Structure 1
Amino acid sequence: MTSVDKPTTDRDAPAGQADKAVTEAALFEAFGGVRGMVETVLPGLLFVTIYTINKNLHFSAIAALGVSLVLVAVRLIRRDTVKHAFSGVFGVAFGVVFAMMTGNAKDFYLPGMIYTLGLALAYIITTLAGVPLIGLILGPVFKENLSWRTRNPGRKKAYAKASWAWGLILLAKCAILFPLYWWADTTQLGWVLVALKIPPFLLAVYLTWVFLAKAPPPIDVFAEMEAEEQAEKEAEQARKATAPGRTDG
């Protein structure tokens, strides 16, 4: 009977709780946590707030870009991970360029909407291809890399479920936003978009946690490689110790 097949006992409970805690911490790290969510929401919130008040596209766009740069600067000063802040800067910069080129404030949101649609399709297509995107994202975080593809079928199934969840949730979000892009005004679109930033994301992260918490634990390929290297060193030392002609003392 394997560790996956064993019935749960009270003695096993702490280990299960530890696995869930590791999964929660890894998801928190991978998706940026509370700070990452703030950095995702704040530029768009500032843009729509200023535009609602004064309808000034240039000032709203510059303010959104400025706060994104400040968030990156703060991370650099604190020597924190900057990938989430940098992705926010690029997203805001593309939105600013689109809006400035067309003169339509709604185009500030268009690059992000297109990115969301593309990401939704990526989750679905990669899952259908047998390489769910969420597994590619989280594999290195869990130190399992791609071992789940061939060596851990239960975990691969969990990644597939999670990728389906991400893809369908993001498609549902797009189904709301794209009609509003055509029919609503800038402020209506902006406030709906801000409102839809966090709840769908939290739902997708929660479902990912549920699926992975029930899955077999990841295979730590880094620990395996270290063990193999250690075994090779010990074998080499043993060969040298037993080599012909070697004498002690």
Structure 2
Amino acid sequence: MTDQKDSPETIVSAEVLADAEQTAARPTVLDQMGGPMGFVYSTVPVVVFVAANAFLSLPITVGISIAVGIALTVFRLIRGERFASAIGGLLGIAAAVGIVMVTGSAKDFFVIGIWAALAGFVVTFASVLARRPLTGVIWNAVHGGEFAWRADKVVLRVHDIATLAAAIVFGARFLVKEWLYLADSTTWLAVAKIAMGTPLTVLAALLVVWAFRRTTRRLVTQPVQ
């Protein structure tokens, strides 16, 4: 009788099953960005600020925003999140309301995000023009900087696509928010921040993950011919 234990079909099936289990256990892009709660953390301070500003004076609005930021930070620490991640959100809120207190304009709550989007667009788009797409530079740095990834046309192309996707996200955020900022529309700035925040980031991140995995398969795990 033929022993089926170590047959090629059995080995292949075992490998496929192992790959499937590994894929199922791997955290999704949304999970890596904090999951649904990450979206909540980025949305609540914005909603609270705009809602409070519609009915209360600016100093009271600022005070409420800081209080909400502190409450969210404490909640995240209780849930066991890393201190750096939890405190980062509070620092972002503090910086935003600090600018508001200096300028006396509620719309300046969003100015850091507007200029950060412009900076992100300039860096990512310039890296593509320089034929050193940023996602490829980051991938190579993570892998010790030892791969000639730009010499592989396929790898260079996928990183062009991923980096351009990031540039488009940054550019769209800047154009829309700057237009709303100049129109003095604080409420719509909040809407744009929420709508163009986590959802667009997830879409761009999916392309970045695709580029990273494609590059790893071609340069790291590709079998020797």
TM range (shorter): 0.7 to 0.9
Residue 167 of structure 2 corresponds to 167
| Cα distance in 2 between the residues matched to 1:145 and 1:83 | 25
Q: 1:184 to 1:149 in 2, by over 3 A?
A: farther
Residue 41 of structure 1 corresponds to 43
- Summarize deviations over 1:134-171 as a string: whole Å, max 9, x none: 3555667xx63434554994555433321210111210
Where structure 1 has 5 or more consecutive residues not aligned to the other structure, the ranges are 1-9, 221-249
SS at match of 1:109: helix
Residue 191 of structure 1 corresponds to 191
Displacement of 1:174 in angstroms is 1.2
Residue 124 of structure 1 corresponds to 125
SS at match of 1:146: coil
Residue 53 of structure 2 corresponds to 51
Displacement of 1:213 in angstroms is 4.8
Given that residues 46 and 64 in structure 1 are in contact (C-alpha distance below 8 angstroms), is that contact kept between their aligned partners in structure 2? yes
Identity %: 24
Give the ranges of 4+ consecutive aligned residues of structure 1 lying more than 6 Å apart after TM superposition: none
Residue 223 of structure 1 corresponds to none
Paired residue type of 1:91? G
Given that residues 77 and 86 in structure 2 are in contact (C-alpha distance below 8 angstroms), is that contact kept between their aligned partners in structure 1? no
Given that residues 53 and 61 in structure 2 are in contact (C-alpha distance below 8 angstroms), is that contact kept between their aligned partners in structure 1? yes
Which segment drifts farther, 25-34 or 155-164?
25-34
Residue 200 of structure 1 corresponds to 200
| Cα distance in 1 between the residues matched to 2:24 and 2:210 | 12
Given that residues 96 and 108 in structure 2 are in contact (C-alpha distance below 8 angstroms), is that contact kept between their aligned partners in structure 1? yes
Residue 246 of structure 1 corresponds to none
Residue 115 of structure 1 corresponds to 116
State the superposition RMSD in angstroms: 3.4
SS at match of 1:25: coil
| Cα distance in 1 between the residues matched to 2:170 and 2:74 | 30
Displacement of 1:67 in angstroms is 2.4
SS at match of 1:80: coil
Query: Are residues 1:61 and 2:62 paired?
Result: yes
| Cα distance in 1 between the residues matched to 2:78 and 2:24 | 30
Paired residue type of 2:121? A
Given that residues 128 and 163 in structure 2 are in contact (C-alpha distance below 8 angstroms), is that contact kept between their aligned partners in structure 1? yes
Q: 1:137 to 1:215 in 2, by over 3 A?
A: closer
